[in-house]
Structure 1
Amino acid sequence: MSKIIAFTNQKGGVGKTTSTANIGAGLARAGYKVLLVDLDPQINLTSGLGLTEAEFNVYGALLQEYKVKAYPIQDNLALIAGSPALSSFEKVKGDELDREFLLKDLLEPLLERCDYVLLDCPPALGLITLNAYACANALYIPLEAQLYATDGLEKVLEMVTRVQRRLNPTLVVGGIFFTRFDPRKVLRRETAEVVRDKYPDLVLTSTIRETIALGEAPHLGQDIFTYAPTSAGAMDYGHLVQEILTR
């Protein structure tokens, strides 16, 4: 049975999609069968992995317009494409019975074929994110070490507590990790220390440095290991993958 991991933060622009793509690619390179699911209406995960014309997407599958389709990206790595129409999911399905478990039901038949399912959540704590939390085994929270960074973190942790109580008692927070990290900047270091002091059991050792290659790779539809295998970004995500595997 596969493990479902959601990458989430209420704040946008923290490297959530970049992390989903590169951690997924890192796990696939380590020999695990990985399925990525793009739940963000911006569909940056889908386009950033080079899937530009997907006839079938997660939104249509959730609406039962067709069966769910996973597109192969590389060896051991497949993707369920996202759709801009996901922004209307709450309006369309908000009154439906068991609406929080629609994603869980959709993914259930696929789990026996995967080792890991990685969910790229939207930067909002709406019904799509609630569906992700309801079916996930663990959440990982990418965080930028800057002013107000912890605001989104607090809201995510509050929602996790509610989900654990009402929908998914086995859900755990796997960890928090820093992205776009520059240890030379005093504010980044100080903010990171504040978060580490407040959540000593949650903050991971691995950090993702800010590098040009991480921004360039999606424009070519590639993960960092394919685009720049010797870069700092590839090294950092490699370490992060190993740390996730040991938790």
Structure 2
Amino acid sequence: MGILIGIQLIVIVLFSLLGWAIRIKKNYGLISGFAARSMTEQEELIKNGYPQKTGSLLIYTAVGMLILLPLAFTSFPFVIEVQFVFMLVFLMGGFIYLSKYEVSGKSKRSFWISSTLFVVVLGFVSVLTYLGYEKYVLIVKDEEFEVTGLYGEEWPLEEVEEVELMEDMPEVTWKINGFGLSTMSKGQFKVKGYGKSLLFIHKEAPYIYIRVNDQHIFLNGGNPGETKEWYEELSKNID
């Protein structure tokens, strides 16, 4: 959690500095594409207040994220998601609003481009979030076991070298390819003492550790009872 708070603080400071440089110091060249505009368009944009409002948008985004930051010190489980959704909606919604301050003849085009981009990005993020939170289950079959859902696959039971029920999850040091959400981790991660590992874990003990041909797998269910059922079912089918 400390690393995530640090990242949020860096983003807040970055937005604040950019907003200050644009709004107060009038470094309008920091706005994407502004320097490539003709002098006539630049002057009209400044007259309309477009770059000034862009700086304000970045500052307000930073302030909003700062207001939400104390949630990280509570038991609220979706801090990262709330921060990210706020940043995405506020920023992209703000740029849709700013399209009205575009140069004459381009405001309508800018509005539709910003609106389309907003819908596409929001849809993409929604799909990724759904896949990240999609429920997975451990299924033990006659000759193999399977973890369902994204990043899941099947492994032969005869190749299982170790199964252990752990009360404490080893430290996860780095995400390689997966979802590191507030209440769940799913995908490829680096785990201290184990190296590259496949995780399907809710942030609630206990955890099942499985070693298959030097591949490390950590998983648990939605509650301790389900996790223990999975462990017992898998253990009794391992020779």
TM bucket, shorter chain: under 0.3
Larger Rg: 2
- Larger relative CO (CA 8 A, sep 6+): 1 or 2? 1
**Structure ranking higher in helix proportion:** 2
TM-score, length of structure 2 as denominator length: 0.24
